[in-house]
Amino acid sequence: MQLEHALAVVTGGSSGIGFATAERFVAEGARVVISGRNAEKLQQAADKLGENALPVIANAANPEDMQRLYQTAVGHFQCDVDVVVANAGISRQTPLRETTLQQFSDVLDINVGGVYSTVREALPFLARPASIVLVASLAASQGTKNFSAYCASKAAVVSLAKCFAADLVELGVRVNSISPGVAHTPIFDTLGISEAQLLQWSNAIPMKRPAEPAEVAAAILFLASNASGYVTGADLAVDGGMSGISPF
């Protein structure tokens, strides 16, 4: 058991990578608070996770929501927070010509502002030591046609992990990011990306398949747990070789 008795908060824990992470954390002995905006989806996820999971409806981009989430978590479980996974995020196609500044900002509000509030509002409630994992993306380092808002937001997340690591190292709080490539989750349903296009993307992955959410969760567990006790300010690629292996 790698997280026995730990209290973990996973934003966006109702679906995809966040849900798989919460599931793995519970299996490793943790109590887990999961958040999301859709109450029904969140309750269904909590029901699947069982009694060691507490659902709290909260928009990660709203600091008051996040403050309430941490107060609820600490009040309910009567201990400080050992692990925070800032996972909540959205993806949108934002073609340069057709995307307004407001539409661009909407993506950054959640993907960057949400991560900022998730970490900032956690500070009064953190145990010492504690571990924070930010979910970035391979998109942080690869220009992708029609995805400038998403790519820029994820580049900011990688940078935030390094900056927060510097801000918090003296407090015994480690901060790292992970960069998944393509993982098989409902995020693609919102993008209008066809199965054929996904198959094409998969063929470009050296391992020739997308990640299962549980595989990304295993990498998050490594960064969350004491197994990575000497790791801070790092970004871990979980991308089937996409960033590290030349296509030639």
Ligand X SMILES: NC(=O)c1ccc[n+]([C@@H]2O[C@H](COP(=O)([O-])OP(=O)(O)OC[C@H]3O[C@@H](n4cnc5c(N)ncnc54)[C@H](OP(=O)(O)O)[C@@H]3O)[C@@H](O)[C@H]2O)c1
User: How far apart, in whole angstroms, are the C-alpha atoms of residue 18 and residue 158?
Assistant: 18
Rounded least distance, CB 45 to ligand X, Å: 8
Distances 108 to 68, 113, 155, 157 between C-alpha atoms, Å? 22, 7, 11, 10
Q: State the nearest-atom distance from the C-beta of 16 to ligand X, in Å.
A: 2
Distance (Å, whole) CA 48 – CA 119 = 26
Give Rg (Cα) of the chain. Answer: 17
Interface with ligand X (CB under 6 A), residue from 56, 110, 152, 158? 110
Rank residues 90 and 160 by Cβ distance to ligand X and give the closer one. 90
| Bridge partners of residue 178, in order along the sequence | 135, 236
Question: For residues 119 and 136, is the Cβ–Cβ distance under 8 A?
Answer: no
Distance, in Å, from the CA atom of 130 to the CA atom of 226, rounded to the nearest integer, reads 9
Stretch in the footprint of ligand X (CB under 6 A) among 14-22, 24-32, 46-54, 219-227? 14-22
Stretch that binds ligand X, among 47-55, 67-75, 84-92, 141-149 (CB under 6 A): 84-92
Residues 18, 86 contacting (CB under 8 angstroms): no
- If one asks whether residue 118 binds ligand X (CB under 6 A), the answer comes out as no
Residue of 70, 116, 150, 230 marked catalytic: 150
Does residue 55 interact with ligand X by CB under 6 A? no
CA dist 191 to 54, 103, 118, 205, Å?
A: 29, 14, 25, 20
Distance of closest approach, residue 129 Cβ to ligand X, in angstroms: 25
Is residue 230 part of the annotated active site? The answer reads no
Q: Does 200 contact ligand X by CB under 6 A?
A: no
State which residue, 21 or 225, has the beta carbon closest to ligand X: 21
In this chain, which stretch among 55-63, 75-83, 140-148, 165-173 interacts with ligand X, using CB under 6 A?
55-63
* Residue 185 touches ligand X, criterion: CB under 6 A: yes
For position 41 contacting ligand X by CB under 6 A, the verdict is yes
List, by residue number, the catalytic residues. 150
